[in-house]
Amino acid sequence: MRASIVATVTEVQIHRLDADVPIPTYAHPADAGTDLVSTVDVTLEPGERTLVPTGVAIALPEGFAGFIHPRSGLALRHGLSVVNTPGTIDAGYRGEIKVLLVNHDLREAVHIARGDRIAQLVVQRVEQVRFTEVDVLSASVRGAGGYGSSGGHASIEATTEGSL
């Protein structure tokens, strides 16, 4: 019989700078992200970026960070994304969470209304490390290979001709 896994929930303090903003919740069990809303009406012309307030400030425990990701539906329908995706919310940050939105659509403006869900916040455990300088790094299988060194950038025509 499989042992049941009980998820532990980490409490995070939240302070609303705007009383109308809902406390973020997860839309479905096991969702990674909880949506953030805009507290302003704003229009982004094609290619434009703007910093959007969300009306919330949080106090993450040490050892955690928040990451602001785009919402895929808005990205698909409107080309709306986050410039610095994922935006990093440090555990020590007590200011208002803001989202640096960008309109990647080449033709259409994106209209954001106050209360619209504009991005999602993913809270994760993070590590700090101590860097130790060495003259030669430990060996690895990958070595310095990167930027497509493992292949996978052949055209679709090439792969359908059996070059997988």
Annotated binding site for substrate: 71-73, 84, 88-90
Binding segment for ligand DUT (CB under 6 A), chosen from 70-78, 85-93, 126-134, 140-148, is: 85-93
Q: Give the CA distances from residue 104 to residues 21, 45, 48, 49, 111, in Å, rounded to whole numbers and listed in that order.
A: 27, 9, 8, 9, 13
Contact 58, 67 (CB under 8 A): no
Q: Which is nearer to ligand DUT, 127 or 157 (CB)?
A: 127
Contact 118, 36 (CB under 8 A): yes
Q: Between the CA atoms of 84, 86, 87 and 91, what dihedral angle is there, to the nearest 10 degrees? A: -160
Q: Which is nearer to ligand DUT, 37 or 99 (CB)?
A: 99
Which of 78, 87, 103, 120 forms a contact with ligand DUT (CB under 6 A)?
87
Closest approach of ligand DUT to the CB of residue 87, in Å: 2
Contact 104, 48 (CB under 8 A): no
**Applying CB under 6 A, does 97 fall inside the site for ligand DUT?**
yes
**Applying CB under 6 A, does 64 fall inside the site for ligand DUT?**
no
Q: Which residues bind ligand DUT (CB under 6 A)?
A: 68, 84, 87-90, 93, 97-100
